[in-house]
Structure 1
Amino acid sequence: MKKNILITGTSTGVGFESAILFAKEGFKVYASMRNLEKSNTLQQKITEENLNIEIIQLDVTDNNSIEKAVDYITVKDGKIDVLLNNAGAGFAKTLEQSSEEEIKWVTDVNYFGVIRTTKAVLPKMREANTGHVINVTSVGGLVGQPFNELYCGAKFAVEGFTEALASYVSPSFGIKFSMVEPGGIATSFMENAVAKTVNNNGEMATGDYAPIFQKYLEGAQSRATSENTSPYQTGKEVAEIILEVAKNENPPLRIRTSEWAENMCNLKTKSDPDGTQLVNQVKEYFL
């Protein structure tokens, strides 16, 4: 039977590439995005290549939007085999200079959005005693980085959230959980993150942090142009890893998507690279 997948954040980047790859692999793809006005590029690809992709509206910050999308899919197909929580947003700004609104926004998009969509699909997956939730996190979910404390905090939260679910939902109801942890992605993601630090005059709003932030930007630009140490992958390269995880009968709990990402997290992951040992230990302690 053909499997279907719900993907969030498919207007660009990893989500866009994932929708195409999964469709070519034979999945029925529900490609969701907050703003359907940004669907033209994907729709053109669907038409050109006759892909089995249906574009639907879903805003991860809006419960009603999520419930409507999930209900639509389950009524139409009776199931959701895979949920790919890809929607997210970068944010590079100091805590001191972040407004309460920005703090809530970055947490809402990157963490609460994952909770909402996961909660919406779990009942159907539990009834079917099968399913796979794949969360795109980041090396920033394992390693705190300069000017990314709010983003990293949200991604750390996703990591803990996913680990906890895997410790009891997986063995009890056959639902798999995975976290895909890229380094940098060569899309507009980083540009959008840094844009948050610009004030109304187009100047970097970093105040006393300006010299450190300048050094941070120079380092990011240097790494981006380095052939040997660049953390940046294309959206398609990351999407290919996600597809392999989804096809795996025994998928890893966590996986980095590049050598750079692996090296970045090595001190935290070398004793248990895919997270399986830790989850098994937690199950022994508590269940």
Structure 2
Amino acid sequence: MKKNVLITGTSTGLGLESAVLFAKNGYKVYASMRNLKKADTLKEKTENENLDITILQLDVTNLQSINTALKTIIEKDGKIDVLVNNAGAGFAKTTEQATEQEIKWVTDVNYHGVVFCTQAVLPYMRKQKSGQIISVTSIGGLVGQPFNELYCGAKFAVEGFMEGLATYVSDAFNIKITCVEPGGIKTEFMNSAISKTAVDGALATGEYLPIFQSYMAGIQKRASQGEAQTYQTGAEVAEILLDISKVENPPLRIRTSQWAEQFCSLKTQADPDGTKLVQQIKGSFL
């Protein structure tokens, strides 16, 4: 029987690339997205290449939506083998200038959505004594960055959540946990993040303005250096997600490029993949 995988946020970018790649490599893919009106590209690829992909509506911030999608998968297959928490959104604005609604939104999409989707699959993985949860976080989940503190805070939370979960569900229930940490992905995610920053940049006035201008100049410079520097393609990162799904004992965390590795080195050099820390925590508490 084929392994199945639920991937969130598959309308564009990394999610779309991952859905296609997993299907081409023998997985039965449940590709979910908040807005099914954005499914045309994936539908076209599915039909043209005769891929085993089922497109589902799933809003990671809506519990009913998550549970409905899981019910569909369980009714069809009776199991869930892999969850890829990919859905997320970039956000760059000072804490002072962010609205209450924006703060709640960036946290809901990037953190609560991961928790809710993970919560939904855990009972099935626990009962079947197998499963894998792969969460696309970011180097922003390890290293705080200017104007990204709210986004980074949500990604730090995902890293802590996954780290804590890994300390006991892996041994007890054979549920493997991995955080995949890209440095930057040249997809709609990056474009929307930069666009939102630029549009809302008018708010970065007064004493914040020179810092903001320097920040934007840095983004533009790195983007112009090409994919070999900061930004990878969605397809490149999708390959890493697929590789992780095939590893018998996957690491807790993995960066997706040499640039990302170097950027996080002060945080990760003692324990690059998180394995030593998880073992230490198990030894201390269990």
TM-score bracket relative to the smaller structure = over 0.9
Cα–Cα, structure 1 residues 269 and 203, in superposed 2: closer, same or farther, change >3 Å? Answer: closer
Cα distance in 2, alignment partners of residues 52 and 131 from structure 1: 20
3-state SS, counterpart of residue 252 of structure 1: coil
Q: Within the alignment, does 1:169 sit opposite 2:132 as a pair?
A: no
3-state SS, counterpart of residue 135 of structure 1: strand
How far did residue 221 of structure 1 move?
1.0
Partner of 1:237: 236
Q: 1:228-248: CA deviations, max 9, x gaps?
A: 972100000000000000011
Cα distance in 2, alignment partners of residues 272 and 167 from structure 1: 15
Matches within 5 A, 1:38-53: 38-53=38-53
Cα–Cα, structure 1 residues 113 and 227, in superposed 2: closer, same or farther, change >3 Å? Answer: closer
Q: Percent identity over the alignment?
A: 65
Cα distance in 1, alignment partners of residues 79 and 180 from structure 2: 23
- Is residue 197–residue 204 contact of structure 1 (8 Å, CA) maintained in 2? no
Cα distance in 2, alignment partners of residues 33 and 195 from structure 1: 21
Tell me, which stretches of 5 or more residues in structure 2 are unaligned? Answer: none
Matches within 5 A, 1:1-287: 1-197=1-197, 204-208=202-206, 209-227=208-226, 230-287=229-286
Letter in 1 for 2:204: T
Q: Segments of 4+ in structure 1 off by > 4 A?
A: none
TM-score, length-scaled by structure 1: 0.97
Alignment length (residue pairs): 285
Cα distance in 2, alignment partners of residues 63 and 279 from structure 1: 30
3-state SS, counterpart of residue 176 of structure 1: strand
Cα distance in 1, alignment partners of residues 85 and 158 from structure 2: 10
Cα–Cα, structure 1 residues 243 and 114, in superposed 2: closer, same or farther, change >3 Å? Answer: same
Cα–Cα, structure 1 residues 89 and 261, in superposed 2: closer, same or farther, change >3 Å? Answer: same
3-state SS, counterpart of residue 133 of structure 1: strand
How far did residue 227 of structure 1 move?
4.8
3-state SS, counterpart of residue 89 of structure 2: coil
3-state SS, counterpart of residue 233 of structure 1: coil
How far did residue 23 of structure 1 move?
0.1
Cα distance in 2, alignment partners of residues 20 and 198 from structure 1: 32
- Is residue 197–residue 205 contact of structure 1 (8 Å, CA) maintained in 2? no
Cα distance in 2, alignment partners of residues 132 and 91 from structure 1: 28
How far did residue 205 of structure 1 move?
1.8
- Is residue 186–residue 227 contact of structure 2 (8 Å, CA) maintained in 1? no
TM-score, length-scaled by structure 2: 0.97
3-state SS, counterpart of residue 202 of structure 2: coil
- Is residue 198–residue 205 contact of structure 1 (8 Å, CA) maintained in 2? no
Q: Which moved more, 1:266-275 or 1:132-141?
A: 266-275
**Alignment RMSD:** 1.3
- Is residue 227–residue 233 contact of structure 2 (8 Å, CA) maintained in 1? no
Cα distance in 1, alignment partners of residues 226 and 55 from structure 2: 36
- Is residue 7–residue 84 contact of structure 1 (8 Å, CA) maintained in 2? yes
Q: Which moved more, 1:122-131 or 1:213-222?
A: 213-222
Letter in 2 for 1:262: E
Q: 1:137-165: CA deviations, max 9, x gaps?
A: 00000000000000000000000000000
- Is residue 9–residue 15 contact of structure 2 (8 Å, CA) maintained in 1? yes
Cα distance in 1, alignment partners of residues 74 and 226 from structure 2: 45
Cα distance in 2, alignment partners of residues 234 and 60 from structure 1: 24
Cα distance in 2, alignment partners of residues 109 and 191 from structure 1: 17
Q: 1:99-122: CA deviations, max 9, x gaps?
A: 000000000000000000000000
Letter in 2 for 1:117: C
- Is residue 167–residue 281 contact of structure 2 (8 Å, CA) maintained in 1? yes
Q: Which moved more, 1:247-256 or 1:227-236?
A: 227-236
Letter in 1 for 2:255: R
